[in-house]
Homo-oligomer: A and B are copies of this chain.
Amino acid sequence: MEQYKRSHTCGELTAAQAGERVTLNGWVHRNRNHGGVHFINLRDRYGITQVVIDEDASADLRDTAESLKYEYCIAVEGTVRRRPDSMVNTDMTTGEVEIQADTIVVLTTCETLPFMIDERSETNEDLRLKYRYLDLRSFSMQRKIKLRADVSYRVREYLGTEGFLEIETPTMIRSTPEGARDFLIPSRLNPGSFYAMPQSPQLFKQILMVSGFDKYFQLAHCFRDEDLRGDRQPEHTQVDIEMSFVDQDDIFRLIEGLMEHVFKHTLNIDLKTPFPRISYDDAMNLYGSDKPDLRFDMEMQDFNAHVPGSGFGVFESVVENGGAVKVLVAPGAAGYSRKQITDLEETAKTYGAKGLAWTKVSEEGTLEGGIGKFFTDSSEKILSELSASPGDLLLFVADSWKVSCTALGAVRKRLGSELELVEKGGATPSHFAFAWIVDFPLFEYDEEGEKWEAAHHMFTMPQAKYLDSMENDPGAVKGALYDLVCNGIELASGSIRIHDPRLQQRIFDIVGFNKEEAERRFGFLMNAFRYGAPPHGGIAPGLDRLVMLMSGESTIREVMAFPKNTQGINPMDDSPSPVDPAQLKELGLELKLPDRE
């Protein structure tokens, strides 16, 4: 490489270098022959520079230029010259100049491409993943991978400045399945025994607090053996954070500062902090979700007060039985067709609603159609209290509080998109609606198992006012538990942890977790807590989701260099794959596959 090594990248030459001799290395992005003059767009990750082989160049050079196909990797030597004024391309940094080439060396050739390297390929995703090395050459993928690297760098910069130490925790740990399944690693030195891959470094980061490292973080790889529906990946990265001697406000301030720093130094966006705080109950009541999309308002409202005496039996019986009737005023949506409303109803049903009632506000200010007839007498009062106007569509779900909220919340989210209440794309502060969701319930009742379960995880501290009474009414207990949400996505989840082994035991008792089980799974953490554990808490923003959000993508696969597909397969290296039986034998294992049906 000594001879033809680049003097510049393909993204940096301007008229200032006119007249200079330069060498460029890169890929043939385009190669056109206009009346005997070759125009080659040479690309690297920094940009594109136009290379010109003039009509009067040597026959050899022109032959070489003629031979260049898409994605040949070449070296070019030549002289920088200004383009004629009519040819200046102001869209590119290098648009003022071109290279008058006198030498072209083909470093490597390229076979026929399976798809074009382009801004936004319409190619089938598995083909993109199989040829990921080509897919990653697009400016679009390069930008996202660079954004991810930049975000990671700024995260470390900020946390380093705040006095945090990045400490690596093991990838091969004890299996303590909880929530998702662990991936296992058979041990050859200890046949019959297995390591697990961490679902998160949760126990180790708490151990680090016991060790006196009061400000820990790690860009940690986390592994979950889940069924891969939706946007899941077997491995993902989180910004794992834990602190000692802090309360919830300290963690909020830290993360707000972190997001400010990252957004400022990557997208040049000034986020507005502090982020609003919304209680879990309010989030459910107003938006029907614990990760509400706050880029638009359209809050849900309570309708219970208007139900008694309406004569609409369905609503009346829900209210009598302690349920909730929730209503959403969709502005200007009175033109929705029956078909469109049925589609919205399908969404509501997906979330457990039995139906979606509706009515419309006529131009005269009356309630027309759907269940409007039951509320003729009170329509004026209703419109006033709901702040509904002519041309609005009213949508109702009546069910248990949780179902009503969740189902109508899903309708709200869909309407946000259908009514274009959310501005697409762009990169201004208004495109990123952050909020803290606080005061989560600590326990959830598992109807099937007929028992209480930890809503988040078992190490979360109950809020102080519930400490005395939590066994009496677990459902009422709020935890020192918080989520950071943005644009309807849960970006981070965290809590203040229990550091007192006796309190921890009370939680285990409530969720019916016996001592032996606790000892077997979390024994080392419980032991550690007997030796002067400090009060501590933490949080873990998901890096993939953050970068996905920042780059306007809707799947985390778009911001990972080498993701698996939805079957857990990487079409590029074709993993997972069968292995040599001798490898299994060494591990003390044999295959015992279920019969195919």
A234 / chain B contacts, CB cutoff of 8 Å: 172
Contacts A71-B531, A235-B170 hold; do A165 and B145 have CB atoms under 8 A apart?
Answer: yes
With an 8 A cutoff between CB atoms, is A375 at the interface? no
A578 / chain B contacts, CB cutoff of 8 Å: 192-194
With an 8 A cutoff between CB atoms, is A299 at the interface? no
A1 / chain B contacts, CB cutoff of 8 Å: 245-247, 496, 535
A170 in contact with B562 (CB, 8 Å): yes
B196 in contact with A575 (CB, 8 Å): yes
A576 / chain B contacts, CB cutoff of 8 Å: 172, 174, 185, 187, 190, 193-195
In the complex, how many angstroms separate the beta carbon of A402 from the nearest chain B beta carbon?
Answer: 32
**Chain B proximity mask over A110-139: 1 for CB below 8 Å, otherwise 0:** 110100000000000000000111101100
Q: How many identical subunits does the complex contain?
A: 2
- Interface size on A, as a range, is 35 or more
A187 / chain B contacts, CB cutoff of 8 Å: 568, 576
A110 in contact with B213 (CB, 8 Å): no
A588 in contact with B593 (CB, 8 Å): yes
Chain A interface mostly:
loop
With an 8 A cutoff between CB atoms, is A204 at the interface? yes
With an 8 A cutoff between CB atoms, is A282 at the interface? no
**Chain B proximity mask over A188-200: 1 for CB below 8 Å, otherwise 0:** 1111111111000
**Chain B proximity mask over A227-238: 1 for CB below 8 Å, otherwise 0:** 110000011010
A175 in contact with B73 (CB, 8 Å): no
Closest to A130 in B: B524
A171 in contact with B246 (CB, 8 Å): no
In the complex, how many angstroms separate the beta carbon of A72 from the nearest chain B beta carbon?
Answer: 6
A499 in contact with B108 (CB, 8 Å): yes
A89 / chain B contacts, CB cutoff of 8 Å: none
Closest to A567 in B: B189
With an 8 A cutoff between CB atoms, is A173 at the interface? yes
A214 / chain B contacts, CB cutoff of 8 Å: 44-45
Which one, A152-160, A421-429, A484-492, is touching chain B? A152-160
A213 in contact with B142 (CB, 8 Å): yes
With an 8 A cutoff between CB atoms, is A15 at the interface? no
- Which residue in B148, B153, B225, B246 is a CB contact (below 8 Å) of A5? B246
Given A110-B530, A137-B212, 4 more contacts at CB 8 Å?
A156-B156, A192-B591, A195-B576, A211-B561
Return 29 A-B CB contacts under 8 Å, by A number: A73-B532, A108-B499, A110-B532, A132-B211, A133-B207, A133-B528, A137-B211, A142-B212, A148-B167, A149-B165, A170-B562, A171-B197, A172-B575, A174-B570, A174-B573, A174-B577, A175-B575, A181-B188, A181-B583, A182-B583, A184-B583, A190-B567, A190-B576, A193-B578, A195-B576, A221-B221, A588-B592, A588-B593, A589-B591
